[in-house]
Chain A
Amino acid sequence: MSYAAIADRDHEREHHEPQTFITKYIWSQDHKVIAIQYGITAIFVGLIALGLSVMMRLQLGFPNEFAFINPENYYQFITMHGMIMVIYLLTALFLGGFGNYLIPLMCGSRDMVFPYMNMLSYWVYLLSVIVLLISFFVPGGSTGAGWTLYPPQAILPGTPGKDLGIVLMLGSLALFIVAFTMGGLNYVTTVLQARCKGMTLMRLPLSVWGIFIATILGLLAFPALLVSAVMMLFDKLLGTSFFMPAISSMGIDPGYTGGSPILFQHLFWFFGHPEVYIVALPAFGLVSDLLSTHARKNIFGYRMMVWAIIAIGGLSFIVWAHHMYVSGMNPYFGFFFATTTLIIAVPTAIKVYNWVLTLWQGNIHLRVPMLFAIGFIFTFIHGGLTGLFLGNVTIDMPLSDTYFVVAHFHMVMGVSPIMVVFGAIYHWWPKISGKMYNETLGKWHFWMTFLGTYAIYLPMHYLGFQGVPRRYYAMGNTEFLPESAQALNASITMAALLVAVAQILFFINIIWSLVKGPKSDPNPWDATTLEWQTPDHPPKHGNWGDKLPVVYRWAYDYSVPGYKDDFIPQNVPPDEAPAGREHGVKH
């Protein structure tokens, strides 16, 4: 069977077109429906995590004004906010959501290669979310161990949710990993095996490259989280001592002997650092396509962009211990991990330069997706630069437990990916729904989110320099802090409330668009990639009608001189349009 035949195989066989409401929208094996299911679930839990962060900000901005927030709750809010945002929102949305929607459409395939497993992937993900949410309501509440779940404190008295809370958390993570593995096998195999005729690897849009490499990272990194979760469950439930040292807890000997909490940290961060790039690489890919499309210019340095994604992915596996400088380590190790960390700046900087150079002299259309894409460049440079500070052992030591770190990682892997999430949703919304959104409302949403998040995170860097500790419920006896630090904290809280409320605009826009929005053109942005060239709009089950597309060119033929339109779709043959460089990208 040839590649194109694999992409087309559903069509050759008995067509599994769903008939009833249930097979069409609930137990669906269609990658587009599964993508939307993933997206809705992820955004739903993301909203819960947003609510938790608002509670945290209320306590920090106005300490002890709110009786319903006590120290135990506060730690539970921190933990669940972090875990949900990183794993259940961003990982699920980028790979389960955008990965599912875009891979088959952009590769010119009818569906994922294992549709049934794809469906299972979503339902196991939903189960993991349900287990996670149940942990809020069990006796003792959800775990308050921090999103890193470090033993020994995660399972010892004094930490909220040390019984059922942590057990459900670890169980939920294990389920998530199973779900991700099923989805991930699909994404990798589909990209490798089900591309349509003519779609060589180097003609893939960067979105697919980002998602593809991120999936490989996930497949290799999530086992580390699984191993640590299972071993911690053993320590908690069976009384083994993988991680638990001989310890006296509140005057009682819990019976552990000589385990190593540092071992957990190694395993956790062996997953935890690649996780940053599991979230970042799809964002890199999607934003590249957004910038190119809305600047009407080919992406600058396509091959370099592909290799930068691969290099970042590879390097991300040998930097994990930079999260553990304060745990203490051999100075030579510290030197090694600081060096590898700083080396990652090289491919990352290549990407940033190429994005900026893509904009250079482009025909920039400042539509909503483009605003978010440019916003991403700002927030990503900002968060990336503070990463260079923290990658050095000597600078990390004093800053590691302060708000500087909170500011850094929120800029680089909170705000930046979220910018891309919104940009990408606005960009592909017409394809998903067949409707247009309201441009003005979208612009308000962008500016309030963009400026608001800066108002939140920029001052946090100063708080960090002053030594304001992170993770604290209340400041207590910290005379070295000026009173103005509290004033700044109050202003950050106000900004956070504003940003949280601004997200309502997004949902109003979505609902308005679904109910009253004007019908969109099949290709409203004049984009080149295959998903905009489907015979039906929005694409139907099987994506391509009777015949699969054939690809003749890369995804970035924008503003090709000598051609009547300023874009040439990937499936336009060379004899119907000039062949790119021969006619001169150079004027």
Chain B
Amino acid sequence: MTIALGFLGIILVTLLGWLLKQTINVQPWVAETVGESAHHGPLGNSPKLTGLLTLLAVVTAFFALILSAYALRMELGDWIPLTEPQLLWSNTVMLIMASIVFQWTRNAAVNEQPGRLQAGLLLTGVLTLGFVLGQFIAWQQLQNSGQLITSNPANAFFYFLTGAHAVHILGGMYVWARATIKVVSGSQDVEGIRRSIELCTIYWHYLLLVWLVLFGLLLST
């Protein structure tokens, strides 16, 4: 459980540091007029960004706990390391490219170059779906070579981890689809589209990071 605890430690220390800054040397019983800037936190004024970051903390807890379980289960006698399909490498490249293209699209949205949005979003979608499809094909390859989910705990964790990651990607694709439909249909909600793209970009980078950690772990064990 050290992995989960390590993650929690980081979150709690961040939270405590921030709370300390907000609360230390404050005399709550003194009545006074406080300006609007009095409680501007490091998150600025974006509820959606705050919501997204909170969600990322929850998702991180989720994956950290699976990794904890992975580390504990690996110690037991019946663990036979799995040789990962080579296809995962090209999938990884695709996910990295998706992240890069999304960043490019985001920059276009921030710099008000609406002409690039449609191409950027569609390309990101193709690359991301390509990643998910590639993961699915990797599953098929494993199945065909007789590496079933029940064959070994290492296999079970492989399917679980990659599946959980893919589900999170597909969740992000829902928001991506809404933004893309808006762009393609020529919606005038420029502000809304920009914000969706910004938040999606953060989410994509985050899931890329999660994948790199997972992939590294799978390769090394």
Q: Which residues of A contact B (CB under 8 A)?
A: 1-6, 113-114, 181, 184-186, 188-190, 192-195, 197-203, 216, 219-221, 223-224, 226-227, 230-231, 234, 238-242, 255, 257-260, 263, 266-267, 270, 298, 302-303, 306-307, 310, 314, 317-318, 551-554, 556-557, 568, 573-574, 577, 579-581, 585
Q: List 9 A-B contacts (CB under 8 A).
A: A114-B47, A114-B51, A185-B55, A188-B50, A198-B38, A219-B54, A266-B1, A317-B5, A557-B31
Find out whether the CB atom of A192 lies under 8 angstroms from the CB atom of B29: no
Nearest chain B residue, comparing its CB with the CB of A204: B28
> CB-CB < 8 A to A181: which residues of B?
55, 58
> CB-CB < 8 A to B69: which residues of A?
227, 231, 242, 263, 267
> CB-CB < 8 A to A242: which residues of B?
69, 73, 153, 156
Find out whether the CB atom of A192 lies under 8 angstroms from the CB atom of B50: yes
Find out whether the CB atom of B8 lies under 8 angstroms from the CB atom of A219: no
> CB-CB < 8 A to B62: which residues of A?
223, 226-227
Find out whether the CB atom of B72 lies under 8 angstroms from the CB atom of A260: yes
Q: 0/1 per residue, B1-38, Cβ < 8 Å to A?
A: 10011001001100110010011001111111110111
> CB-CB < 8 A to A568: which residues of B?
31
Find out whether the CB atom of B28 lies under 8 angstroms from the CB atom of A554: yes
Q: Is the interface of A mostly helix, strand, loop or mixed?
A: helix
Find out whether the CB atom of A223 lies under 8 angstroms from the CB atom of B65: yes
Find out whether the CB atom of B47 lies under 8 angstroms from the CB atom of A193: yes
Given contact pairs A193-B50, A219-B57, A270-B4, A552 touches B153 in the complex (Cβ within 8 A)? no
Find out whether the CB atom of A240 lies under 8 angstroms from the CB atom of B149: yes
Q: Looking at the assembled complex, report how far the CB atom of A201 sits from the nearest CB atom of chain B, in whole angstroms.
A: 5
Find out whether the CB atom of B61 lies under 8 angstroms from the CB atom of A257: no
> CB-CB < 8 A to B39: which residues of A?
3, 195, 199-201
Nearest chain B residue, comparing its CB with the CB of A570: B31
Given contact pairs A114-B51, A185-B55, A234-B156, A580 touches B61 in the complex (Cβ within 8 A)? no
B side interface size, CB within 8 A: 52
Q: Looking at the assembled complex, report how far the CB atom of B165 sits from the nearest CB atom of chain A, in whole angstroms.
A: 13
Given contact pairs A310-B16, A580-B31, A234 touches B61 in the complex (Cβ within 8 A)? no
Q: Looking at the assembled complex, report how far the CB atom of A29 sits from the nearest CB atom of chain B, in whole angstroms.
A: 15
Q: Looking at the assembled complex, report how far the CB atom of A257 sits from the nearest CB atom of chain B, in whole angstroms.
A: 5
Q: Looking at the assembled complex, report how far the CB atom of B45 sits from the nearest CB atom of chain A, in whole angstroms.
A: 5
Find out whether the CB atom of A3 lies under 8 angstroms from the CB atom of B160: no
> CB-CB < 8 A to B32: which residues of A?
552-553, 574, 579
> CB-CB < 8 A to A231: which residues of B?
69, 160
Given contact pairs A113-B51, A201-B23, A580 touches B65 in the complex (Cβ within 8 A)? no
Given contact pairs A3-B40, A579-B31, A194 touches B26 in the complex (Cβ within 8 A)? no
Given contact pairs A189-B54, A223-B61, A227-B62, A270 touches B36 in the complex (Cβ within 8 A)? no
Find out whether the CB atom of B23 lies under 8 angstroms from the CB atom of A263: no
Given contact pairs A1-B45, A201-B22, A581-B30, A234 touches B160 in the complex (Cβ within 8 A)? yes
Residue B146 lies at the interface, judged by CB distance under 8 Å to chain A: no
CA distance A417 to B139 in the complex (A): 48
Given contact pairs A258-B153, A310-B19, A574 touches B33 in the complex (Cβ within 8 A)? yes
Q: Which of A114, A186, A270, A574 contacts B65 (CB 8 A)?
A: A270
CA distance A258 to B61 in the complex (A): 26
Nearest chain A residue, comparing its CB with the CB of B45: A1
Residue B77 lies at the interface, judged by CB distance under 8 Å to chain A: yes
Nearest chain A residue, comparing its CB with the CB of B79: A258
Q: Looking at the assembled complex, report how far the CB atom of B213 sits from the nearest CB atom of chain A, in whole angstroms.
A: 16
CA distance A231 to B70 in the complex (A): 11
Nearest chain A residue, comparing its CB with the CB of B19: A310
Find out whether the CB atom of B58 lies under 8 angstroms from the CB atom of A263: no
Q: Looking at the assembled complex, report how far the CB atom of B207 sits from the nearest CB atom of chain A, in whole angstroms.
A: 16
Q: Which of B199-218 contact A (CB under 8 A)?
A: none
Find out whether the CB atom of B58 lies under 8 angstroms from the CB atom of A202: no
CA distance A303 to B76 in the complex (A): 47
Find out whether the CB atom of B76 lies under 8 angstroms from the CB atom of A260: yes
Q: Which of B50, B57, B76 contacts A189 (CB 8 A)?
A: B50
Q: Which of B72, B76, B150 contacts A238 (CB 8 A)?
A: B150
CA distance A202 to B149 in the complex (A): 52
Find out whether the CB atom of B36 lies under 8 angstroms from the CB atom of A113: no
Q: Looking at the assembled complex, report how far the CB atom of A581 sits from the nearest CB atom of chain B, in whole angstroms.
A: 6
> CB-CB < 8 A to B73: which residues of A?
242, 259-260, 263
> CB-CB < 8 A to B149: which residues of A?
234, 238, 240
Nearest chain A residue, comparing its CB with the CB of B50: A189
Q: Looking at the assembled complex, report how far the CB atom of A198 sits from the nearest CB atom of chain B, in whole angstroms.
A: 5
Q: Which of B12, B29, B45, B54 contacts A554 (CB 8 A)?
A: B29
Residue B88 lies at the interface, judged by CB distance under 8 Å to chain A: no
Q: 0/1 per residue, B75-111, Cβ < 8 Å to A?
A: 0111000000000000000000000000000000000
CA distance A565 to B131 in the complex (A): 67
- The residue in A113, A192, A298, A574 that gathers the most chain B C-beta atoms within 10 A of its C-beta is A192
List 15 additional contacts besides A202-B28, A221-B61, A552-B34; criterion CB under 8 Å: A3-B45, A4-B36, A6-B45, A181-B55, A192-B41, A192-B50, A198-B38, A227-B69, A231-B160, A242-B156, A318-B5, A551-B34, A553-B29, A579-B32, A580-B30
